[in-house]
Structure 1
Amino acid sequence: MTIPEKTSVHRSPHKAGKTGVFIALTIALLLSTPFAVQANAVEPESYTPVAPTIDQARANILIARQLQFTHFRDMGISDELSGDVFDAYLNYLDGQRVYLTARDVQALDKVKSRLGSALKTGQLQPGFDIYNLVQKRIIERLRFALKTLDEGIENLDFSSNDSILLDRSEADWEPDKEALDALWVKRIKNAVLAQRLNGTDDEAITETLKRRYEGQLKRAYQARSEDAFQAYMNAFTGMWDPHTAYFSPRTSENFNINMSLSLEGIGAVLQGDNEYTKVVRLVPGGPASKQGQLQPADRIVSVAQEGEKPVNVIGWRLDEVVDLIRGPRDSVVTLEVVPASATDETITKSISIRRDEVKLEEQSASKNTIEFERNGETYTVGVITIPTFYADFRAMQAGDPNYKSTTRDVRKLIAELQQEGVDGLVIDLRNNGGGALHEANDLVGLFIDTGPTVQIRNSNNEVQVLNDDDASVAYDGPLVVLTNRMSASASEIFAGAIQDYGRGLVVGSQTFGKGTVQAVRPLNHGQLKITQSKFYRVSGGSTQHKGVIPDIEIPSRIDKTRIGEDALDHALPWDQIEAVPHTRYFDFSDIIEELRKRHEDRFAKSPDFRLLQQEIDFLEEQRQRETVSLNLDERTTQQEQIERTRLTIANARRELRGEEPFESLDELEDWQDQQAADLGSTDEELDFVIREGGHIMADMLELDKRMVSILAPRQIAAQAEVRQ
C-alpha cells in the first residue's frame, strides 16, 4: 500500500542551509577517499570500470538522512550495519556465489566495517570498487563458459557420479579460480542435461547456451554508473525493510505507473531478483492473469517478440526488461521463465501472452451462486469474488454518480444475491493483492453497524484510526472470507476486521503479511520509496509479517518460504498496540472446534483435496532436494519419475471432471499450450475450495441458529461494547 506525499518531510537537527553546506563539503572530499579495493587479476582490456557521480553522492547523503530520521524503524548507521550492507550487496551481485572466490571476498574485508561511515557522507567509491570487481569476475566466468562450449559439449563427461548444489546462497565461496572453473563445468553440464532430457539436440543446446552467455557478457561490458549506484543503494535501504528502495530516474518512471505493464502490456508487477527479473504478482483482469500460466515468483530468462528470436535478459536492468515486455496491443510476447516450482534454474518453460490493456471492468467484483444438499436440505450460497480494491478516481472527481468502486459494486451484488434468497455469503479474496485503502475501510462497513476498521501508526508513534461511520448494513447474514498467501495489504485489513468483529470466519491459508505503508519522496537524483507507517487491526495486532491467520486452514500450493513478508530479509516484525473498542457480533469459540472437525472429515473423503495434497507433497519433495545428479542415467531416471508424477496428477484431475486422460506428458503440455492460446479457456480455479466455504457456512447455520439473525438489533445491543 503506497500513499504518496505532497511534500518531503525531514526530521533532522540540521537546518536546510547547514545541510547544503555539509553536502557540498562532503562531496568535495570524495575523490580523495582512501577506500580503493585492489583486484587480484588483471583487468580485462575491454571493461571500463564505472565511477560515481556528484549527483549520486548528493542523493546518497539525502537517502542516509531520510533513513535515519523519517523511516518507521528507528535505526542508526553503525559498524554492525556496515557488515550487513556488505553481505546484502554481495548477495545482490553474486547471490549464488559463482563469480567471486574466497580470496576475492577476503580482499574486500578491509572495507567491510567502514561502509556505514562512507554511506553517511556520500563516499561511494568502496561500493563501486566492489561492483567493478564483480563485473570483472562475471566477464571472466562467462568467457570461460563460452570457451567450454566452443570446445564442444560432447566432450563433457556425463558418466561420473558428480552432482551439483541447487542453491548456493549459503555455500562456502570457492577458494580460487581453479575451483570456480570446476564449478562452472558442472553448471554447464547441468544446463546441457536439462535440455537433453527435454529432447533438444546438442547443436540447439549449444546455440541456446551461447546466446544466453553472450547476452550476459554484453550486459557486463555495458555496465553503467547508475547500475552500480542503484544496486548499492538498495543493499543499503534494504537494511531498514524490504519495501524501502531507491529508484533511479529511469526506474522512477516505471514506478510512477506501478510497473504494472497494464498499458499495452501483460499485467504483471516485476522486480529485480539478483540476475533475474522476478514476477511479484499478476494484475487482476490482465492478460497474464487470464492466460493463467505465469505465476508469482517465476523468473524471466528471455523475452521474444512475435516472429523474432528470444532475447536473453539475465543480468538486464529491470527498466530494460519492462521496456522489452511492453508492446502494441494485440501483439504476442513470449516469456521464457524459470517456474516458481522449479528445483533448478536450468528448468524453463515458454509462455506466450497477448498484450492488452487492463480494463477496470475486468478487475471488478463479480458474483455467483453454488447449491448443495445436506441432510435433505438444500443450501444456496452466494459467492462474491473481489480481485482487487479499486475505485475510478477520475469519475469520482468528475462527479459521476455512477462511478465504479469495490464497495459500490459489492453492495449491488449483495442486493442481487439477497433477491435470489441465498442462505449465506462467501467473499473470495484469494490472490487479491490490495489496492485502495479507503475501499477496504468502506467494505468492512457493509457488514458492521459502525466502528473502527484499522489503525495506522507512524514513526512518531502517533496512531490514526479509520472508522466506518455509516450505520447502514448491506448484509447481516453468515459470512465466510476466503484468503490465500497472495491476499495482501487491503485484503488483510478487511479479513482481519471481519475476524476481530466476529462477523464471519476466515478460511484458507495465512495471508501475505504486508502491513506497512510507503511514501515516495523525490531526491535530487531519482526517488526514495520509504516505509513510514504500519497497519494494526482493531484488536491491536499488526497485519505486518504475520498476516491474518485463518480460523480454518486449507493448504495451498504456494511456497511460503519464497512468497510472503516473512520470507523477505529485514522485514519489519509483528507487534501490537492497544486495541480500540469494537463490537464482537458473534463468538465462534463454542463451535470452532466442531467446524474444524467437520471440515477435516469432509476433506479426508474429498478426492479433490487428496489430489491437492498429493500435488503439494510432490512440490515440497522437489523443493527439499538440495542437489541434482550430473550422471545422465541417474538424471534420466529422476526425470522420468517426475514426469510420471506430473502426468498422474493431471490425469487424476481430468478424471474428476469426466475428461479423457492424457496418454503422455507431451500431450499434456500441448494441451496447456492450446489453453494458453485461448485466454477464455484457462484451467479452472479450485472450485472445491469455494464449495468448502459454502459447507462451512452450512455447518455454522446448523451448529448455531443464531447465525441466521446475527445482526438483529437486540443482539447488537446485548453484545456491543462501550464505544469511545
Structure 2
Amino acid sequence: MFKKLYAVLVIGAALSCQASPSKPTKVPGSNDLQPDEQQSIVLQNVTEMVTKYNYKKIDLNDSISGVIFDRYIKALDGNHNYLLESDVKEFEKFRLMLDDDMKAGNLANVFYIFNVYQKRYNDRINYSIKKINDNFDYTTNETFTYDREKLPWVSSAQELDKLWTGRVKYDLLNLKLANKDMAKNKETLRKRYQNLLSQSNKLSNADVFQIFMDSFTESVDPHTNYFTPSNAANFNIEMSRSVQGIGASLQSENEYVTIKTIVPGGPADKSKQISVDDRIVGIAQGKTGEFQNIIGWRIENAIAIIRGTKGTVVRLEILPAGATAGSKPKVVEMVREKIILKDQSAKKEIKTYNQNGKNFKIGIISIPAFYLDFDDYRSGNPNYKSTTRDVKLILDSLKQAKVDGVVIDLRQNGGGSLTEAIELTGLFIKDGPVVQVKDARNQIEVDKDEDPDIAYSGPLLVAVDRFSASASEIFAGAIQDYGRGIIAGTQTYGKGTVQSAINLDKVITTTLSEKISSLVGKTKTVGTGSQNKFGQLNLTVAKFYRISGGSTQHKGVMPDISFPSIIPLDKYGEDTEPSALPYDVIAKSQYSKVGDFATVLPQLKKQHEQRMAQSASYKYLLEDIAEFKKTEAETSVTLNEQKLKKERDADEQRNFERANQRRVAMGLPALKKGQTKPRNEDLDFVKVEAGQILIDYINTDNKLTTVFK
C-alpha cells in the first residue's frame, strides 16, 4: 500500500522549488521576524501535498482559511492575555486570504500577525517588570481571573494594564505565602519575568513557521503534522528511543545550558568530569574546532550542536556547579555514542497476590510507546531497538519466574510504529490478521502476523485508558477480537488514522525521476532518520480497522471491564476534535477466535464491582475525579492573603491526609508531616486491581482452553 502511495505522491505532484516570499510589514517593538525562502518553498509544497494526498480530501478555500486563521490566533493567545480587541479586528482582513497566501508561498501576513503578538507580549512582560516595585494591598477582596479563554478580547491598553497588575500581584502573593521576605520575592519574580522576555527574544522564524504549520495541518485532521528540521529530529528520537550524543539531559537556567541528568554508561558519565548542575558555556566540534560561546542560547540550538554522529568528537567548556561566572571553565572531550533511552522503554515488575490462602504472581509489563529504531532496522543491525524485542525478552524472564499471568499496561501509550503493533500482537497469537488498513482509494490491505511462534500463551490482561491511542488501540483491539485477553480500563483515545513520514528533502530537492527511484518501494516508515533541510511531513494516508471490521477511529476500543476515568472523556479524545475523521465499518477479516470471554465476563465484573464497593482506593479515585471536575471549572483566585492562605492550608492538609489514606489503603505506613516519600513508591491502585481481575479469571471454573496450551 505504501509503495503505491509514494508512487502516487511523486508522479501526481508537480511540486514547486521556487517561491517569492513577501516581507511582512514591520512592527516596531517586535523582533521583526521575517520568513525565508526555504519556508516559502516548504509552505507551497506541504500545502499541495496535504490538499491532494491526505486521506481526508479537502479544498483549500475561504472556509478552511477561516478555520486556520482561528487556530493560529488561538495558538498565539488562546487565553486572551496579550492581544487587543483592535488587533484581532485588524487581523480579520487576513481571515479569507490565508488560503491564497499558502498556495503562493506567501508568509507575510502570517509573520505580521506574529510580530504584532510578540510586541504585545514583550510590552506586557516589560510592564510587569515595572510593576514589581509597587506595594500591593493584600487585605482587599479582589480576585485575579487566570482563565480568560471564554472572555472577550481586552478593548484597551489600560484594561490590559489592569489585568497584568493583577497578574503581578498574584505572582508576588504566591511567593509571599512561601517566604515573607518581599525584597527577595520581588527579585525572584523580576528574574522570572526577565527570563520570559529573554526566551521571547530568542524565538526564531522557524518557531513562527512551526506554529502556523500546526494551525494549518490540524485544521485538516488532528494527526497530519509538519515538523521543522529540529523538531523532526526530536520526533525520530522519540520513535527510536535512542539518540546519538553525550548521554545527558539539558535545561536552560538563567541563560546557562545546565546538565540535569546523566545517562549511566554514556560519554558524559564515562568522562568522570561532568556532574548534574554543571553549566556548559562553550562547544567545539572535533579535537581542533573553535569553541562557540553558548551563554544565552536557546536550549534547542545548543542541543543541536552537542548531538552528532556516533564516533565523532565534541568538546565542552564546563563551569562546575557552584563556580562563579568569572571562573575559568574546564574543557571536557568526549566521543559521541548511541544512547538507548532505557527510562522510556518497556519495563517489568512482578506483583504477588494472596487469594484464599494461595499466592499468585502477576507479571506487569508497562509499555510507554510502540518504538522502533528505524535506521538500525533498515541497516540490518540485528540488535536494533524495538518494543517487540524488549517485550519478548521481558516475557522470557517472566516465564522463568513462573508468573501465573501477565498484564500489558498500555495506559498513557500514545502509539507509534504500526509494524511494532503487529509484531507485538504476534507474541501472543499463533498467526493471522492483526489490522486492516484502507487507503484513500478505498483499497484495503490486511496486515498479518505471519510468525507461528508464540512468546506467551498464558492468561493475559491489557490495561488501557483515554490516552491509549493508535498502535495501542490496534494491539488491544486485536487481542479483544481474538478473545486472547481481557481489556480493562476506560474507552481509548480513538486515533485510527495512518501517517506516513515523508522526508521533504526527497520531495523538494530532487528531480522527478530521482523522486520516483528514491521513494517508490519504501516500506511503512516511522521516521526519516537524520536531520534534513526542509523538515518532515507526517501525512495521514489511510485508516485503521479492526479485524472484526470496526474502525478504531473516533470510537476507540471499549474495555471489557470498565474503570472510571480521571481523564475527562468529554475534553480529551478523537471524538472531541472538530477535524477528526468519522467512525465507520468495513467487512471483517478471515480469522479464527482463540477464546471467548463472554461466559466469564459477568462473573469477573461482579467480583470486580464487589471489590470496588469495599475498596477505599476506589472511593478515593471517585472523589479525586469529582474534585478534578470542580477545580477544572474554576477560573479565578482571590488576592486576599488571609483567604488564599486559608484555602492553600486547607488544600495542603487535605492532600496530605489523602496521600496517607491512599498509602494505608495500599498497605503502606502513613507519613508524618515533613517526612520524605520513599523513591519509586507505587500507589497505582488501578494496576493492582488489573492483576486482581486476572487472578479472578485464573480461578474461574470455565477458564478458557486456548490453542496455545
TM tier, smaller: 0.7 to 0.9
Q: Report how far residue 252 of structure 1 moved.
A: 3.7
Give the Cα–Cα distance (whole angstroms) in 2 for the partners of residues 422 and 194 of structure 1: 50
Gap change, CA 1:333 and 1:96, over 3 Å in 2: farther
Give the Cα–Cα distance (whole angstroms) in 2 for the partners of residues 253 and 401 of structure 1: 23
1:359-398 equivalences in 2 (<5 Å): 359=340, 365=346, 368-375=349-356, 379-390=360-371
Give the Cα–Cα distance (whole angstroms) in 2 for the partners of residues 67 and 417 of structure 1: 46
**Aligned residue number for residue 720 of structure 1:** none
Give the Cα–Cα distance (whole angstroms) in 2 for the partners of residues 179 and 449 of structure 1: 67
Give the Cα–Cα distance (whole angstroms) in 1 for the partners of residues 364 and 397 of structure 2: 12
* Match among 441, 462, 483 for residue 502 of structure 1: 483
1:162 pairs with 2:142? yes
Gap change, CA 1:173 and 1:318, over 3 Å in 2: farther
Q: Report how far residue 307 of structure 1 moved.
A: 5.9
1:229 pairs with 2:229? no
Tell me, yes or no, if the aligned pair for 1:452 and 1:465 is still in contact at 8 Å: yes
* Match among 596, 600, 605 for residue 587 of structure 1: 596
Q: Report how far residue 183 of structure 1 moved.
A: 1.0
**Aligned residue number for residue 82 of structure 2:** 99
**Aligned residue number for residue 154 of structure 2:** 174
Q: Report how far residue 421 of structure 1 moved.
A: 5.4
Q: Report how far residue 137 of structure 1 moved.
A: 1.5
C-alpha distance after superposition, 1:428-477 (max 9, x if no partner): 33344444433321232233333210112222322221112234444444
1:450 pairs with 2:431? yes
Gap change, CA 1:471 and 1:7, over 3 Å in 2: closer
**Runs of 5+ unmatched residues, structure 2:** 252-260, 265-274, 281-295, 308-313, 322-336, 509-533
1:695 pairs with 2:695? no
1:196 pairs with 2:190? no
Gap change, CA 1:167 and 1:458, over 3 Å in 2: farther
Q: Report how far residue 78 of structure 1 moved.
A: 1.2
Compute the TM-score of the two structures, normalised by the length of structure 2: 0.76
Give the Cα–Cα distance (whole angstroms) in 1 for the partners of residues 614 and 114 of structure 2: 57
Q: Which residue identity does 2:226 align to in structure 1?
A: Y
* Match among 535, 539, 549 for residue 540 of structure 1: 549
317-326 or 72-81, which deviates more? 317-326
C-alpha distance after superposition, 1:567-626 (max 9, x if no partner): 656344443333212223333334423322221110221233333333343333322322
Give the Cα–Cα distance (whole angstroms) in 1 for the partners of residues 632 and 617 of structure 2: 23
Q: Report how far residue 67 of structure 1 moved.
A: 1.1
* Match among 402, 420, 434 for residue 439 of structure 1: 420
Tell me, yes or no, if the aligned pair for 2:489 and 2:563 is still in contact at 8 Å: yes
Q: How many residues align?
A: 625
**Aligned residue number for residue 503 of structure 2:** 521
Give the Cα–Cα distance (whole angstroms) in 1 for the partners of residues 583 and 169 of structure 2: 44
1:684 pairs with 2:666? no
Gap change, CA 1:101 and 1:411, over 3 Å in 2: closer
Give the Cα–Cα distance (whole angstroms) in 1 for the partners of residues 181 and 39 of structure 2: 48
Gap change, CA 1:137 and 1:483, over 3 Å in 2: same
Give the Cα–Cα distance (whole angstroms) in 1 for the partners of residues 699 and 154 of structure 2: 64
Give the Cα–Cα distance (whole angstroms) in 2 for the partners of residues 325 and 513 of structure 1: 38
Structure 2 residue matching 1:588: 3-state secondary structure: coil
Give the Cα–Cα distance (whole angstroms) in 2 for the partners of residues 700 and 658 of structure 1: 24
1:112 pairs with 2:95? yes
**Aligned residue number for residue 134 of structure 1:** 117
* Match among 104, 108, 127 for residue 144 of structure 1: 127
* Match among 153, 166, 187 for residue 207 of structure 1: 187
**Aligned residue number for residue 492 of structure 2:** 511
Give the Cα–Cα distance (whole angstroms) in 2 for the partners of residues 597 and 393 of structure 1: 45
Give the Cα–Cα distance (whole angstroms) in 2 for the partners of residues 243 and 332 of structure 1: 42
Q: Report how far residue 383 of structure 1 moved.
A: 3.7
Gap change, CA 1:13 and 1:632, over 3 Å in 2: same
Structure 2 residue matching 1:164: 3-state secondary structure: strand
1:78 pairs with 2:61? yes
Q: Report how far residue 358 of structure 1 moved.
A: 5.6
Q: Which residue identity does 1:117 align to in structure 2?
A: D
Tell me, yes or no, if the aligned pair for 1:5 and 1:521 is still in contact at 8 Å: no
Gap change, CA 1:691 and 1:460, over 3 Å in 2: same
Give the Cα–Cα distance (whole angstroms) in 1 for the partners of residues 79 and 210 of structure 2: 20
Q: Report how far residue 68 of structure 1 moved.
A: 0.7
Q: Which residue identity does 2:629 align to in structure 1?
A: E
**Aligned residue number for residue 707 of structure 2:** 711
Give the Cα–Cα distance (whole angstroms) in 2 for the partners of residues 318 and 577 of structure 1: 47
Gap change, CA 1:622 and 1:318, over 3 Å in 2: farther
C-alpha distance after superposition, 1:354-384 (max 9, x if no partner): xx98636666655554444444555444444
Tell me, yes or no, if the aligned pair for 1:8 and 1:521 is still in contact at 8 Å: no
Q: Which residue identity does 2:177 align to in structure 1?
A: L
Gap change, CA 1:632 and 1:361, over 3 Å in 2: closer
Q: Report how far residue 162 of structure 1 moved.
A: 2.2
Give the Cα–Cα distance (whole angstroms) in 1 for the partners of residues 631 and 419 of structure 2: 42
Gap change, CA 1:594 and 1:214, over 3 Å in 2: same
**Aligned residue number for residue 479 of structure 1:** 460
**Runs of 5+ unmatched residues, structure 1:** 270-282, 288-303, 310-314, 335-355, 676-680, 714-724
Q: Which residue identity does 2:167 align to in structure 1?
A: R
Give the Cα–Cα distance (whole angstroms) in 2 for the partners of residues 207 and 321 of structure 1: 28
Q: Report how far residue 130 of structure 1 moved.
A: 1.1
Q: Which residue identity does 1:10 align to in structure 2?
A: L
Q: Which residue identity does 2:644 align to in structure 1?
A: R
Gap change, CA 1:655 and 1:202, over 3 Å in 2: same
Give the Cα–Cα distance (whole angstroms) in 2 for the partners of residues 387 and 596 of structure 1: 27
Tell me, yes or no, if the aligned pair for 1:4 and 1:520 is still in contact at 8 Å: no
Compute the TM-score of the two structures, normalised by the length of structure 1: 0.75
Q: Which residue identity does 2:151 align to in structure 1?
A: A
* Match among 271, 274, 277 for residue 306 of structure 1: 277
Identity of matched residues, %: 36
Q: Report how far residue 88 of structure 1 moved.
A: 0.9
Give the Cα–Cα distance (whole angstroms) in 2 for the partners of residues 415 and 50 of structure 1: 55
* Match among 21, 28, 38 for residue 55 of structure 1: 38
Q: Which residue identity does 2:691 align to in structure 1?
A: G
* Match among 622, 635, 640 for residue 631 of structure 2: 622
Tell me, yes or no, if the aligned pair for 1:197 and 1:639 is still in contact at 8 Å: no
Give the Cα–Cα distance (whole angstroms) in 2 for the partners of residues 246 and 191 of structure 1: 36
C-alpha distance after superposition, 1:684-708 (max 9, x if no partner): 251x43442333223334545241x
Tell me, yes or no, if the aligned pair for 2:278 and 2:319 is still in contact at 8 Å: no
**Aligned residue number for residue 328 of structure 2:** none
Give the Cα–Cα distance (whole angstroms) in 2 for the partners of residues 633 and 324 of structure 1: 50
**Aligned residue number for residue 448 of structure 2:** 467
Q: Report how far residue 221 of structure 1 moved.
A: 4.4
